[in-house]
């Protein structure tokens, strides 16, 4: 089952956060996904295109909108654009300043398979604070 991951971005390339978000998707244990990154008229479009070309992974795609969607609802219009491009049976959203745990997609899919009446699955969250060491436990 194909999972479409929708990510909107504006300036997260500059901070390095987008690269971490992409890396977290590439490290997923479930491999049947596509990642659609929508730039909200980001000034870093060419750099993002080069980054994705270097990945050499056709599952990761980038589209840069020609006009900024506005500050009233940042990310909403790009996400809607991403949904219109998605081919997956399931949609997942990943903000460009966030990362997935390696088993996020596998666990989400498992929840949908076990409970077909579900409309939404929400995963674990870990908030990172600078200069703090983290350890995951079960």
Asked if residue 129 belongs to a domain, the reply is no
Residue 72 confidence (pLDDT): 66
Instruction: Tell me, yes or no, whether 138 lies in a domain.
Output: no
Domain assignment present for 131:
no
Three-state helix/strand/coil letters over the chain:
CCEEEEEEECCHHHHCHHHHHHHHHHCCCCCCEEEEEEECCCCCHHHHHHHHHHHCCCCEEEEECCCCCCCCCCCHHHHHHHHHHCCCCEEEECCCCCCCCCCHHHHHHHHHHHCCCCCCCCCCCCCCCCCCCCCCCC
Q: Is the pLDDT of residue 127 over 90?
A: no
* Domain CATH code at residue 42: 3.90.550.10
Instruction: Quick: pLDDT tens for 52-75.
Output: 999 999 999 999 998 888 766 677
> Residue 13's domain spans which residues?
3-114
pLDDT at 129 over 80: no
**pLDDT confidence of residue 91:** 96
Total domains present in the chain: 1
Q: What's the pLDDT tens digit per position in 65-105? A: 988 887 666 778 999 999 999 999 999 999 998 999 999 99
């Amino acid at each position: 089952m194909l999972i479409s991951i929708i990510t909107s971005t504006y300036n997260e390339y500059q901070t390095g956060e987008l690269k971490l978000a992409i890396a977290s998707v590439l490290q997923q244990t479930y491999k049947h996904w596509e990642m659609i990154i929508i730039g909200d008229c980001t000034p870093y479009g060419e750099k993002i295109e080069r980054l994705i070309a270097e990945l050499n992974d056709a599952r990761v795609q980038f589209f840069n909108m020609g006009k900024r969607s506005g500050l009233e609802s940042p990310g909403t219009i790009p996400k809607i654009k991403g949904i219109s491009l998605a081919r997956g049976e399931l949609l997942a959203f990943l903000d460009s300043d966030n990362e997935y745990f390696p088993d996020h997609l596998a666990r989400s899919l498992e929840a949908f398979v076990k409970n077909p009446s579900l409309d939404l699955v929400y995963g674990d969250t870990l908030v990172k604070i600078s200069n703090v060491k983290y350890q995951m436990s079960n």
